[in-house]
Chain A
Amino acid sequence: MKALVAMSGGVDSSVAAALMKEEGWEVMGVTMKLWQGPGGEAPTAGCCTVSDAEDARRVAAQLDIPYYVWDYTEEFMSGVVEGFVEDYATGRTPNPCIECNRTVKFTNLLAHAEALGYEVVVTGHYARVTSDSDGYHLWRGVDPRKDQSYVLSMLGQQQLARLRFPVGELTKEETRKVASRLGIRTADKPDSQDICFVGQGDYRQFLGSRGVTPIQGPILHRDGRMLGVHHGITNFTIGQRRGLGVAVGEPLYVFDLDEDSATVMVGDLSDLAVDQVTLTRLSWINRPVTGEVLAQYRAHGQAVPSEISVQDDQPVICFVEPQQALAKGQTVSLYRDNQVVGGGIIESTHYNGTPSSRPI
């Protein structure tokens, strides 16, 4: 049986490769080259730098497995970067890592692995897959601090049948211990943090470099007061308090960004409250679920008690307790206990039956 391990050069995917090899799989390592600068230069931060590929190559040599770097820059550009730019330009808050999983990793890479006769694709995600007569199930990783199931909630049965996440059974400490035991050179390497294509710079600079020209517009208080002028809605995120460029003696928070009128809406803390969101691109891990669920809307956020229903043909999540500062474009992953049941992307947010986006 053959397994293709997506190796980033970090400790998690290195250990994933080592564990598969120990289990007796015929393992091949692949680093996906996702991004390059305008001059063809490799990124300097995130998970796909030249030095990371070099780490992965050395680990593969240590494990005595064949290793390749595959170029997915075109797929990444069309599947992730263009949407990222478009989302920000339209006042949304995208998660490019989730889009990368949806498109490049679990569509393109999976297809290429299959073409080469590799039965499974393995990544270093902290999540678990099980199967029974009902099919495949996705669970949180055993380490609650490292759990990455949130970024996998878009997966379906056909994908899960061919995916393995071996480090999902381990805590991060255990992963590092395995790496030390096997003498893997990346055992102590710090986790990557930055968005790989934005790098250490600001995402706003990146948007500028992608041709998003900021449009000036009003900063409006929810009570109708015009508080000032801003230099582009991409400079703001929902929930933002500092750096608004207006001073009125009371704390103000951004609660809505309207692309059409280039308006930044601000109000007090209570205006950030959201008790209901509608979802788009909702998909289920196994079968559709209605009623009580736990909804998680940030990668390392809490999953909060909610209810999912369908209203006017649109999936709606009602939070038992109001939440704060949810933005269009964020992914909501749905759980029952520690099991992922599905996920979708926020299309609109509401409080007390009123949309957060509303004309003054």
Chain B
Amino acid sequence: MLYLDHAASSPLRPETWAAMEPFRIDLHGNPSGSHNVSRHAKNALEDARDLIASLINADPKEVVFTAGGSEAANLAIKGRAWSGGSTRGDIITSPTEHEAVLQSAEFCASLGSRIILVKVDPDGLADPAEIASHVTSETAVVSIMMANNETGVKAPIKEITAAVKSVHPTTVVHTDAVQGYVSEAVDVESMGVDLLSLAAHKFGGPKGVGLLYVRSGTPLAPLIHGGGQELGRRSGTHDVMSIVGMAAAMQALESERTLFRQRISAERNRFESDLADRLPDLVITGAGAGRMAHTSHVRIPGVRNEMLLVSLDRADLSASAASACQSGAASVSHVLEAMGMTPSAARECLRFSFGWSNLAGDGATAAGIVAREAEALR
């Protein structure tokens, strides 16, 4: 079993489960209560918040827990667009964003917002100056992802926020850091962003929990109304166990950040160089751009990705076509389409993503299997 689909979801880190386990039965309290059981839960929740805030250089009050990355992105886009009451500002984003951002923006557009999709280059990147050129006093939010979940290409977030803020210092910038954080540390101050989304299960935390960093003073309407948890920004009883798990996973990742990068990029690089040796016509997406350490998005000409995935599955290697539709079919990726790739080329692309549970040698082993199965299909 060779698991190279960490970008879809990474297994739970042992540190995560160790932190979560006490909450399975014993520490069951609702953190909003007024008795001892609740106080335990509330302390655990706030300890987790403090820890997470310190890891991303934020204030604890700026961390809003959500049920995952998609909710965080929805809150960022819709919550910001609707924060002005009846006014519906412009949403500036790029066509290579995750569906959670694009579909949220589309929905806002159906209610009156204007969407500006900034064109991207063949690596899928939008030019910071061009992004800034669309900024006006009507702009509700600029949303550009920290690194693309399919290709792994990193965006220059610092430059983008600087360019945007130079036009309009109060324009709100969101970055979807769900994939980017796996490879790179996040410092909300140096990045200059106002909103930032994370999802725990991408880095060894549990599924169904994430967060939105909300810079102090950023206007934001809640999507979920109710008991007023998270300072009114996200109602609903906290999933304390998962939040504690997310904090533990982040701590585990940060404690080995440099080593993790070295280890994972070594496997990824070995995978790509071995594969390119065996398949000389291999095309590595975004090879000339800055990429995350853990993902490899490749095109193997003449091999339909759906077929190769079946062969790899039989060989017990888990990979992904990166863009799956609701029914589970590999659809032609909107990201690759925006990058100018033809549908037939996009059908030859696969994503291999490494993570904390991979071992030394996995990259070379995977390259051998992928090359063998691809050759068999040609």
A33 closest partner in B (C-beta): B329
When chains A and B are docked, how far (Å) is the Cα of A71 from the Cα of B310? 13
Which A8-53 residues have a C-beta within 8 angstroms of B?
A: 28, 31, 33, 36, 40, 42, 48, 50, 53
The residues of B that contact A68 with a CB separation of less than 8 Å are 306, 309-310, 328
Cβ of A69 and Cβ of B377 under 8 Å apart?
A: no
The residues of B that contact A36 with a CB separation of less than 8 Å are 325, 331
A-facing mask of B278-318, CB < 8 A → 1, else 0?
Answer: 00000000000000000000000000101101110110000
Cβ of A53 and Cβ of B327 under 8 Å apart?
A: yes
When chains A and B are docked, how far (Å) is the Cα of A42 from the Cα of B324? 13
Cβ of B307 and Cβ of A115 under 8 Å apart?
A: yes
Across the A-B interface, how many residue pairs have beta carbons closer than 8 Å?
A: 53
Contact of B325 among A28, A33, A74, A116 (CB under 8 A): A33
Contact of B313 among A33, A54, A66, A73 (CB under 8 A): A66
Is residue B326 contacting chain A, with contact meaning CB distance below 8 A?
Answer: yes
Cβ of A50 and Cβ of B306 under 8 Å apart?
A: no
When chains A and B are docked, how far (Å) is the Cα of A54 from the Cα of B332? 20
A48 closest partner in B (C-beta): B327
Interface size class of B (residues with CB under 8 A): 10 to 19
When chains A and B are docked, how far (Å) is the Cα of A138 from the Cα of B331? 35
Cβ of A28 and Cβ of B310 under 8 Å apart?
A: yes
When chains A and B are docked, how far (Å) is the Cα of A155 from the Cα of B39? 72
B314 closest partner in A (C-beta): A66
A74 closest partner in B (C-beta): B343
- B328 → A minimal CB distance (Å): 4
The residues of A that contact B332 with a CB separation of less than 8 Å are 71
Decide yes or no: A31 and B327 within 8 Å by CB, A70-B306, A112-B304, A116-B307 being known contacts.
Answer: yes
When chains A and B are docked, how far (Å) is the Cα of A346 from the Cα of B327? 37
When chains A and B are docked, how far (Å) is the Cα of A125 from the Cα of B331? 27
Is residue A57 contacting chain B, with contact meaning CB distance below 8 A?
Answer: yes
The residues of B that contact A40 with a CB separation of less than 8 Å are 325, 331
The residues of A that contact B330 with a CB separation of less than 8 Å are 70-71
When chains A and B are docked, how far (Å) is the Cα of A115 from the Cα of B374? 11
Cβ of A53 and Cβ of B328 under 8 Å apart?
A: yes
When chains A and B are docked, how far (Å) is the Cα of A345 from the Cα of B313? 41
Cβ of A116 and Cβ of B311 under 8 Å apart?
A: yes
Decide yes or no: A42 and B328 within 8 Å by CB, A28-B310, A66-B313, A112-B307 being known contacts.
Answer: no
Cβ of A115 and Cβ of B377 under 8 Å apart?
A: yes
Which A52-79 residues have a C-beta within 8 angstroms of B?
A: 53-54, 57, 66, 68-71, 73-74
Cβ of A69 and Cβ of B328 under 8 Å apart?
A: yes
The residues of B that contact A54 with a CB separation of less than 8 Å are 327
B377 closest partner in A (C-beta): A115
Decide yes or no: A116 and B377 within 8 Å by CB, A40-B325, A71-B306 being known contacts.
Answer: yes
Indicate the member of B313, B314, B329, B347 with the most A CB atoms within 10 Å. B329
When chains A and B are docked, how far (Å) is the Cα of A48 from the Cα of B326? 12
The residues of B that contact A71 with a CB separation of less than 8 Å are 306, 325, 329-332, 347
When chains A and B are docked, how far (Å) is the Cα of A239 from the Cα of B92? 56
When chains A and B are docked, how far (Å) is the Cα of A71 from the Cα of B304? 11
Contact of A57 among B304, B310, B328 (CB under 8 A): B328
Decide yes or no: A33 and B307 within 8 Å by CB, A66-B313, A74-B343, A116-B377 being known contacts.
Answer: no
Contact of A116 among B310, B328, B331 (CB under 8 A): B310
A34 closest partner in B (C-beta): B329
The residues of B that contact A42 with a CB separation of less than 8 Å are 325-327
Indicate the member of B307, B310, B311, B314 with the most A CB atoms within 10 Å. B310
Contact of A69 among B304, B313, B327 (CB under 8 A): B327
- A330 → B minimal CB distance (Å): 32
When chains A and B are docked, how far (Å) is the Cα of A271 from the Cα of B23? 81
By Cβ-Cβ distance, the 4 closest A-B pairs, closest first, are A33-B329, A69-B328, A69-B329, A71-B329
Q: A28-B310, A66-B310 are in contact. List 10 more A-B contacts (CB 8 A).
A: A31-B327, A36-B331, A42-B325, A53-B327, A57-B328, A68-B328, A70-B329, A71-B325, A71-B347, A115-B307
Q: List 23 A-B contacts (CB under 8 A).
A: A28-B310, A31-B327, A31-B329, A33-B325, A33-B327, A40-B325, A42-B326, A50-B327, A53-B329, A66-B313, A66-B314, A68-B306, A68-B310, A68-B328, A70-B306, A70-B329, A71-B306, A71-B325, A71-B330, A71-B332, A73-B331, A112-B306, A116-B307
